[in-house]
Structure formats: C-alpha cells, structure tokens
Structure 1
Amino acid sequence: MAKEEVKFMELTSIASSSEGNAIFVGTEDTKLLVDCGISAKRIEAGLKELDLTVPEFSGILITHEHTDHIKGLGVLSRRYGLPVFATGKTIDAIFEYKNLGKVDRSLFQSIEADHPFWIGDIKIEASRVWHDAADPVCYSFWSNGSKASIATDLGDYDEYLVEKIYGSDILFVEANHDVNMLQVGRYPYYLKRRILGRNGHLSNERCAQLIQDTATEGTRKVYLGHLSKENNYEKLAYETVKVSLPDKAELPLEVAKRDAVSSVTIV
C-alpha cells in the first residue's frame, strides 16, 4: 500500500523585534518569506538552521516599507530574483528607500487588501492595519485545512481585523511595548506619542486583548513578536499577556526571539 502523503503548514520567526523582522511560512511545496528587515546574510543563516535555502522559496511578502521590514530586500532581490508581493503604494514607497539599491521592478507584484490570491498551494489574504506607513497590511494564510495569521505594526485594531484573523491555528501578533516603560523611558515626546497612537504599535495589554478576541480552542500557538528593545522585554511581555488571558490558560504562548530562529510550529 502506498504511503499516505502528510500535508501540513508551518511557521517560525527568523528574527522579530523593533530592529528587524523576517518570518517563514510554508508547506512541503511552497515556501514564503514575510518581510526581510534583517540582512540577507542573517536571513540565509536563519534558513540554514531550518534546512532551507532561499532558492527554494516562491516569494517574499512585504507588510510595509519601514526599514525593519525591508532592510535585506535589495540584496535578496538582486541575488535570487524572487517575486515580491506588496500593495501598490507600498511598492512605490519601497523604491524610495535609499538603501534599496538597484532592483528589477518587474519582480514586484501588486496585491490588494481583501483580495485573496494564491502562491503555490497557499491561499493568502492581505488585510488593512493602522500604522504610519503608505499602505500597511497584515497577512493570513490557508493551506491543507489550516490557517495562520501575522499581524504586527498596528497601533490599534477593530472588528474588521478581528474577523480577518479569527480562528487561526497559528497567530503571530505584536506585543511591542509596556506602556509604563515607554512613558518613563528616554524616547522623545513625539516618538512616545507616535508609538502610543492609533497608527503606532500595540502594547502588551492591547496585544492580550487582540488574542482574547481572536484565539479559539483550535489555536495551536500564539507568538508574541516585534518587541521593542527599549520599552519591553521577553518575560514582561509573556507574563503580561498570560495573566490577561485567564480563560485561555492552556493557550501556548511563545515570545519570538529578537536575534535568533524561534521554534517551528506545524499544523
């Protein structure tokens, strides 16, 4: 009897913080990179730990044009020629990035929020978020009966976003800062206002509320990502979120590592 083919979807963070972000999402047949805000060298090294190489990948998805999400994009694009998916306004903003270098614009494919598309055997939908960028989005992925969602870099959320990422088997959400640490920290006033504003970043407490609103009994893992180096730390983010979810005590939480590959979740 022929061996039954095992199908799955997996996700892990190669790096996640306010200094640089790159996330791997894939199946046996389709490998995707979400953002490349660290150097190409670090991305290649992280993928090597996962027994993957960049040429195996089917594309790069960009959430928005800030440096901590596109730092390595120019080098990766020139070196490997992978297709890059982002909204039209984000693509225009990327090409204004002074450190991008010369990149073939034909590699870039424009996508729209709320218009699902396929890359290989993965269905993808971008959803709008509130952030101070040209046209920022988050992403949800479906394959082999499973769903994963990545939602970082958003100052707040509403029922629209809850509906979009609700019921994910894997959730990757932003726990950027502790409000008290930010308020008494050394950041200038204008930057504190930006981070705390609707187009800034999610606090640990607001992150917990988002998880409360979107995680279900079927959620297998929640990653807390995009932590601020100055205004948060792993244990504080974890404990703040954990204590805020008393009715989800069994929900597996993991803080995505700042400078290393996190554990791989397979669903």
Structure 2
Amino acid sequence: MRMVSIASGSSGNCIYIGSDDTHILVDAGISNKRIQQGLNEIGLTGNDMSGILITHEHSDHIKGLGVLSRKYHIPVYGTRETLDEIACSSSLGEFDRELLTPVCPDVDFMLGDLHVKPFSIDHDAANPVAYRVRCGSKSVAVATDMGHFDQYIIDNLQGLDALLLESNHDVRMLETGPYPYYLKRRILGDHGHLSNENAGRLLNCVLHDKLKKIFLGHLSKENNYEELAYETVRLEIDEGDCPYGASDFSISVAGRDCMSEVVYL
C-alpha cells in the first residue's frame, strides 16, 4: 500500500492512495494536467484509477473532476448531498452523471482490494466526509476541512499507519490578517477549519507506536506557512499529555504546489 499527496492546500487538494492492484484519488481539486503529472511521477495514469473519493463539493476539492471524468470515465464517490451539488455545478462542464456513486457516512465499501470507510466531518458543505482506507493490515486516512474534532473523529483516526491531517491556519495570523470579519468567523467556527494548534491536539489523541507518517495538509495560503504549521504541531505534541514526543514520528507538510514523498506501507 502507498500514499502520496499530489497537492494539498487551500487552493487545491488531490491525494493518491493505492495497492498493487487498486488505485484511487481522494479529491480532484487541481487541474487535470497537474493530476496527470503527479500520477506519472509514480508510474500511473488516469486510466489506472478505480475511483475518485470526494470529501465535499468546494472547488478546491473538485476543480479537476470534470476533465478527469470526461477523459477517463472514472467512478466518483461521495455522499448523495455532495454528488447533488457536483451534478449541478456548471464549472465542471459536461460529464457522465452516471459515474456519480453515492456513499453513506459510517458505511464501509470496497474498491478492488481497498476497504473504504467514509466518516462525517463538520464543515460548511452539503454533507462532507473524511476517508479511511485499509488494505490488508495497513490503514491510512485523509482528514481535512474540519471545524473541530470530537471523540467520533478521534475514534475514526485510531490505529493508522499514515495520516494526512488538516493544519489550516495560525489563529493569530488569521485574526490580524486581511480577511473580512465574516470569513474569519467562518474559518474559526465549528464548521470551518482546524488550526495548527488543534491539529497538534488531535494528533495527541491518535499517536501510537506504528504510525509511520504524518502529513500536515490543507494549509491556508494567506494565514499559515509551512514552518509555522510544522513547529506549532510539534510543540503541541511535545507539550501534550500523550507519552510521545514529536521527534518519535515522521512529520512533514504536504505542499501546495509539489508532490510529497511517497509513503510505502
């Protein structure tokens, strides 16, 4: 099993997860050209994809979906409410709406040899989900666009081998930055985004001995930067109640405009 972030940030998200036999994307929020370039770097093309898992309908998660679907006829998975929004989106152009395949939070399904579990997140979208994907004994998850976390989220992120977790903003940068007041309230609210501090606090609840890789993702271009996210999360881990230190884990920031390292499990 392997996992790589093709792009992750407030301007676009696309994560590859796959086994030897089954290959999927979580979100397609960058151009088809960039998605193809990313897949080519790991020896794949759009023709190899078994499905695209969509977390929610915001443009930074579906921007490239129309072109990708038209070109490769890849099934698209998401909650029914998310797919309804996608079907009505004029920005995606024409593509075969029969490719849209509804899933339900907390109802597992199989894509080839990949066991997929969608689970609910709190975000200002129709019915957003995060995804946990297992192949054999190995599990990974992509969890972004969460206004907050609770025990349900913690439970769904237990026992992972790799995790891409939102570390969207620095609270002080956001509060003093140029965004209008309503947008600041939205981002800071329970249906907005996880701050660097809250990403670290969530990690404190899910760290364990076999967690091989942590990617910090979905960074805001205006209200965060890589070094700040990295250092803030590490500090939260080091000062938290869990028995681990940040240096016990491989932590890195998933880039907005570049591929992450490939994690092999």
TM range (shorter): over 0.9
Deviations along 1:186-222, whole A, 9 cap, x unmatched?
0000000000000000000000011111121110000
- Measure the CA separation in 2 of the matches of 1:194 and 1:97: 23
How big is the shift at 1:98?
2.2
Deviations along 1:41-72, whole A, 9 cap, x unmatched?
11001111111111011111000000000000
Residue 100 (str. 1) matches residue 95 (str. 2): no
Residue 38 (str. 1) matches residue 30 (str. 2): yes
How big is the shift at 1:144?
2.2
- Measure the CA separation in 1 of the matches of 2:49 and 2:127: 25
How many residues are aligned here?
Answer: 259
Give runs of aligned pairs for residues 137-176 of structure 1, distance below 5 A: 137-176=129-168
State the SS of the aligned residue for 1:41: helix
Q: Which runs of 5+ in 1 are unaligned?
A: 1-8
How big is the shift at 1:96?
2.2
State the SS of the aligned residue for 2:47: helix
Deviations along 1:18-49, whole A, 9 cap, x unmatched?
00000000000000010000000110011111
Q: For residue 45 of structure 2, what is the aligned residue in structure 1?
A: 53
Q: For residue 245 of structure 2, what is the aligned residue in structure 1?
A: 248
Residue 225 (str. 1) matches residue 217 (str. 2): yes
1:191 pairs, out of 183, 191, 214, with 183
- Measure the CA separation in 2 of the matches of 1:214 and 1:198: 20
Segments of 4+ moved more than 2 angstroms = none
Q: For residue 73 of structure 1, what is the aligned residue in structure 2?
A: 65
Q: Which runs of 5+ in 2 are unaligned?
A: 239-243
Partner AA of 2:96 in structure 1: D
TM-score, scaled to structure 1: 0.96
Q: For residue 266 of structure 1, what is the aligned residue in structure 2?
A: 264
State the SS of the aligned residue for 1:127: strand
